[in-house]
Copies of this chain bind each other. A is one copy, B any other.
Amino acid sequence: MNGADALISTLVANEVTACFANPGTSEMQFVAALDGKPEMRPVLCLFEGVATGAADGYGRIADKPACTLLHLGPGYGNGVANLHNARRAYTPIVNVVGDHATYHRQYDAPLNSDIATLVKPNSLWVRSADSADAVAGLAAEAVAASYGPPGGPVSLILPADSAWLPASTEPVIAQKPTRPAPSSQAVDAAAKAIKAAKKPVVLLGGQACRADALAVAARLEAAGVTVYSDTFVPRQARGAGVFLPKKMQYFGEMALAELEGVDLMVFVGTAMPVAFFAYPDRPSVLVPEGCGTLTLAERSEDPVAGLAALADALGAPASGPSQPLALPEAPTGALNAYFAGASIARHMPENAIVCDDAVTSGTGVATGTATARPHEVLALTGGAIGIGLPLAVGAAVAAPDRKVISLNGDGAAMYTVQALWTMVRENLDITVVVFANHTYRILNVEMTRTGAGKAGPSAAKLLDLGDPKIDWVSMARGFGLSAVRCETAEAFDAAFAAAMTQKGPTFIEAAI
């Protein structure tokens, strides 16, 4: 047994059984060790941003970490953007970052870099396993650290010699941390404040948007408290039978207009809402002036226990509102995001997982699916576009029996387009939709909002994707996917319906 064997044994012993990888020479021992542990599923990604985004999708659905296998600093670097998103989603991920052999580092070979510094901004925990015997213990620490709570990516640096040298260690089992219930003081304070408030609001985020927590939050709504969710939620239950809180508006001034008169905001599994970006003369904090704030449950705490205790303290009814099942009529005419949403709602099976990186088209789809069959939505939590395809890869690996739907803006899909290949390689049950408007639509809006004015010729060149227009069908077929372009609502409805009746990956370009 060498260090690589010890690592994989410990990961598997801690239920880490999926590895999203793009290895290089320094990771060959890890790769070889996989053959000895078939419990670990290796999934090759042709770019590390796919691997880290897939690990995020896997972690959100499996509620346990996957590992990634990344090639030194540059390999990790390619994964940074989606690890940023994962950090913002509080998703447990164990990054295994290969490094030069310990004795080789001093020579500063071409691939050498300061990995420990590079990983810091997006790692809850960082250690380098500088001997083979240290590997198993540190791997167990890494898994435990990734759970938090509230959890997130961790980085275990694995020098090549720590992987290839003999290791005598047995697998080490990590203690899996639990989420404590909020204190009774926090519950009492929230109940008291809500009773005293004229227009109280509860804001849910993170774990408080899972199905179990939403069912309890609905009791608060029934008791007269308006319930909101964060704008971007890592994993939210939605659709028929599920309570749908209002969503915090993306643009700050709209959020504040909607919250006018609110005199109390209580946070559950989230914190003070802030504007996604700053704009000249617009507010940063999305809490109305004079409104009180308090936290019922920290992100690290159990929101279900907190919400139930609060509902009891308020004497709330035993249950609250939930969405009806109401499937839209078949849309007709030129395709747009709302029509696409209607078709998705019509045909999406129960328990589907929707990965949303559709930026400006996301709202249209969400409107349609509000009363669809029950499903879950994984959102872009950190604002780094290019997660919709990788998230779907990870979700599909975690839940092979659920249909996964990946919604993407064309600008976003291009970031990690390599994910399409892994979908085919692994025969994942994913329907990809790319909304092709051939522009960074959101930036056309933001250009005005930031006071930057109207785009002249140089500026316009940086917002537009239409010259040349990407042929998404040709691209997707290049990766081995069956693919179709839809320009009408009728065509999209038919293509999406067909995709729902078959297993395996398929691709729809929604020309909007």
Residues of A within 8 A of B (CB): 21, 23-26, 28-29, 31-32, 34-35, 37-38, 40, 42, 44, 46-47, 49, 69, 72-78, 80-81, 83-85, 88, 100-101, 103-104, 107-111, 113-115, 117-118, 120-122, 160-161, 164, 232, 272, 274-278, 280, 284-285, 381-384, 386, 411, 414-415, 417-418, 421, 424-425, 442-443, 446-447, 449-453, 455-459, 461-465, 467-480
Contacts and interface: CB of A to CB of B under 8 A. Distances in A.
Copies in the complex: 2
A418 B424 contact: no
A449 B24 CA distance: 13
A463 B117 contact: no
B414 A46 contact: yes
20 contacts: A24-B443, A25-B446, A28-B447, A29-B451, A31-B455, A31-B459, A35-B458, A46-B414, A73-B80, A74-B383, A84-B111, A103-B278, A109-B275, A114-B120, A114-B121, A118-B120, A160-B450, A425-B468, A470-B478, A470-B479
Contact of A479 (B32, B232, B468): B468
Given A117-B120, A447-B32, A470 B24 contact: no
A47 B415 contact: yes
Contact of A467 (B29, B110, B425, B459): B425
Given A42-B462, A384-B111, A421 B274 contact: no
A203 B286 CA distance: 61
Contacts of A414: 46-47, 418, 421
Contact of A475 (B24, B78, B479): B479
B458 A34 contact: yes
Contacts of A107: 272, 274-275, 284-285
A104 B450 contact: no
Contacts of A69: 462
Given A425-B467, A474-B474, A274 B77 contact: no
Q: Which of A272, A384, A446 has the most CB of B within 10 A?
A: A384
A97 to B, nearest CB: 13
A455 B23 contact: no
A31 B375 CA distance: 40
A28 B472 CA distance: 27
A449 B85 CA distance: 37
Contacts of A32: 447, 452-453, 455-456, 459
Contact of A40 (B85, B446, B458): B458
Q: Which of A80, A278, A450, A459 has the most CB of B within 10 A?
A: A278
Contacts of A421: 414, 468, 470
A71 to B, nearest CB: 8
A275 B418 CA distance: 31
Given A104-B284, A118-B118, A474-B475, A109 B274 contact: yes
A414 B421 CA distance: 10
B109 A277 contact: yes
A134 B232 CA distance: 35
Given A31-B458, A414-B421, 18 more contacts: A28-B443, A28-B446, A28-B447, A28-B452, A31-B447, A31-B463, A44-B464, A46-B414, A69-B462, A75-B384, A76-B80, A88-B110, A103-B284, A107-B272, A109-B276, A109-B277, A470-B480, A471-B477
A423 B22 CA distance: 27
Contacts of A477: 471, 474
A434 to B, nearest CB: 12
Given A447-B28, A478-B471, A456 B80 contact: no
Given A35-B458, A77-B80, A277-B26, A46 B110 contact: no
Contacts of A456: 32, 34-35
A238 to B, nearest CB: 20
A481 to B, nearest CB: 9
A44 B111 contact: no
A192 B79 CA distance: 50
Contact of A80 (B111, B118, B425, B464): B118
Nearest to A24: B443
A160 B277 CA distance: 9
Contacts of A458: 31, 34-35, 37-38, 40, 42
A113 B100 contact: no
Nearest to A104: B278
A272 B450 CA distance: 51
Contacts of A418: 414-415, 417
